[in-house]
Structure formats: structure tokens, C-alpha cells
Amino acid sequence: MEIKEKLGAIEAILFASGEPVELYRLAEATAIDVGTLPSMIKLLNERYDDYGSGITIKKLEGSYQMCSREEYAPQIREVLETKKNVPLSNAAMEVLTIIAYNQPISKGFVENVRGVDSSSVVNNLVEKGLVEEAGRLDVPGKPIIYRTTSVFLRSFGLASLSELPPLSDFKEKEQLEFDLGEHL
């Protein structure tokens, strides 16, 4: 298979999937070396950029997904007649942060950190596709544990969880605000 055909195969697989496809599965399906695939995907993205295409291929941890470009979101929403994305509440952002930094974790853990019942917030995040079930803890009652999803990564513009800002950044900011508050 020549390079044009291989690029076409990658593009077709990602388009047809609609979901993230693991690198090793792409390599297996296209008979392309795992080490070569990222440069071929980069080549596809460069072509999309050159043509002013409305699509791009994003890397999400060890997977790739074909997506529309963010700048076309208003037009896509209009055509698909989707509701305007409602921003997450402070409680939802707090729960999402707890899950992202401590995953996989149970609702009980989230509730212990927050000090309030968080069941409805976790369920809402599951419905939005930002969080998913990741199994059960091997303790009495076998509670469900949760983790973030590829939708979470895409929504926050992250390629992997390693790109989350360090918690020390937040602690320093809180300490600075606390120190400033004492002097006002």
C-alpha cells in the first residue's frame, strides 16, 4: 500500500469510528508501524490546515479522534439544532476536579472531600459523558468507582491527564489570596 492509500485508510477509520481509536488498533488495521503513525497523522493535520478544512485529528492519551474544529462550533450547533452548552455549575466543576485528580474514586470519596451528598452531581457528569464508571471497589458494598473520559479531555483541551495543572498551583494561589485578605 502506498502512502496515499495509507493516509486514506487512517482518515477513513477515524471518520467512520466517530470515537477515539487506540494507536495500536490503527497500526494493526493499516499495517503501519506504531512509531510511524503519529507522523502520518501529523501529515494529515497539515493537509487539513493547508486546505482550511473544518476537521482535525486530535490526540487523546494513546488514541486519536477525528473532530470538527472548535471555531466552527457555532455553525455546527445551529445546523444540528443542539442546545447551547450550559456551563458546569460550581458544584459540578468541584466534583469533576476531585475525580480528575484522584481517579478512579467512589461517590463516597467525593462526598467525604466535599462534605455534602454528591450523587446527583456525579450522575449529571456521567450523563454529559465527562465521567464514566470504572469498575467497583473490592470492599463491602462494592461501590462503583468513577474516572474521567476522553470527552473530558477534549472538553478541556487536554491530550492526557498529565497535562492537568499541578495542585500546588492552586494551593499557592489560595495561600496568596489568604495572605492578601489579612492585610486588607
Which string of DSSP letters, residue by residue, matches the chain?
A: --HHHHHHHHHHHHHHH-S-EEHHHHHHHHT--TTTHHHHHHHHHHHHHHHT-SEEEEEETTEEEEEE-GGGHHHHHHHHTPPPPPPPPHHHHHHHHHHHHH-SEEHHHHHHHHSS--HHHHHHHHHTTSEEEEEE-SSTT--EEEEE-HHHHHHTT-SSGGGSPPHHHHHHHHHHHHHHHHT-
Q: Where are the domains of the chain?
A: 3-73, 90-182
pLDDT, greater one: 21 or 76: 21
- Note whether 91 and 61 are within 8 A (CB): no
- The topology (CATH level 3) of 90-182 is Arc Repressor Mutant, subunit A (1.10.10)
First to last CA, the chain: 70
pTM, full prediction: 0.56
Mean of per-residue pLDDT scores for the chain = 86
CATH number, span 3-73:
1.10.10.10
Domain 3-73 and domain 90-182, same fold? Reply is yes
CB atoms within 10 A of CB 38: 12
Residue 175: pLDDT over 70? no
> pLDDT tens across 141-168, in order?
889 999 999 889 988 888 888 888 887 7
- Note whether 58 and 65 are within 8 A (CB): yes
Residue 179: pLDDT over 70? no
Predicted confidence at residue 81, as pLDDT, reads: 63
What are 150's three cell numbers?
476522553
